[in-house]
A = this chain, B = another copy of it.
Amino acid sequence: MMSSSNECGTVFIVDDDASVLKGISRIVRLAGYEAVTHTSAEEFLHQAKPSSPSPCCLVVDLTMPGMGGLDLQQRLIDTGTNCPVIFMSGNGSIPATVQAMKRGAVTFLSKPFDHDDLLQAISEALGKQMSVENQSRRVIEIRQRIRNLTDREKEVMGWVISGMLNKQIAARMGIVEKTVKVHRARVMGKMQTQSVAELTRLCADAEFPPNR
């Protein structure tokens, strides 16, 4: 449970070979990371808990009985699990490497590999994870605010960030300008923005599109 000293990330390791798990686990722990091992992709999927406190990444073998590394990676993508993947392989093929990298793998290590290469990949993965995680957290926050808007308010916001005047918005929505002002004010309040510029950026980040 307790890692060595400085808690700077969790590394999930998945390989059907117990000795490999043991070896990599040792390397990872010595570098100050927490290591969690699994002997199959299925086991990992059942037990893995999403990253809450510290960033994490996954070191996985390409070929395993049952679900392989590529399948696992695809599964993570499908379930929206944001966790960088580092591949290992004894007899990896170029096509497998291409596919893994296309899907966003951090790197693809051929066994046997240098310990430093692994640690460097882990460092890169955790760094990437952290920045993506930060961005993701922000987007989730913004979307939460948007969910607190009523349909009418969302509609008005869409027009506002498209640069329409209150008068024009009112015309399009078939209501009076005064009503638009009210909705607009509520939008700014709920979105916690002080200006249209800010609001525009928030919506862009949350992929909330302007109305045509």
Contacts and interface: CB of A to CB of B under 8 A. Distances in A.
Interface of A: 89, 92, 94-95, 97-98, 101-102, 107-108, 110, 160-164, 193-201, 204, 210
Identify which of A162, A197, A199, A204 gathers the most chain B CB atoms within 10 Å of its CB.
A197
Contact of A197 (B102, B110, B160, B194): B160
Residue of A97, A107, A162 with most chain B CB atoms under a 10 A cut-off: A97
Given A101-B102, A102-B101, A204-B204, A162 B197 contact: yes
Contact of A110 (B95, B101, B199): B95
A162 B199 CA distance: 10
**Taking the full assembly, how many copies of this chain does it contain?**
2
A144 to B, nearest CB: 21
Contact of A94 (B108, B163, B201, B210): B108
Contacts of A200: 196-197, 200-201
Given A94-B92, A101-B101, A163 B110 contact: no
B163 A196 contact: yes
A201 B204 contact: yes
A10 to B, nearest CB: 24
A198 B162 CA distance: 7
A102 B72 CA distance: 21
A210 to B, nearest CB: 7
Contacts of A110: 94-95
B161 A197 contact: yes
A94 B195 CA distance: 51
A164 B195 CA distance: 8
Contact of A196 (B98, B101, B196): B196
B194 A163 contact: yes
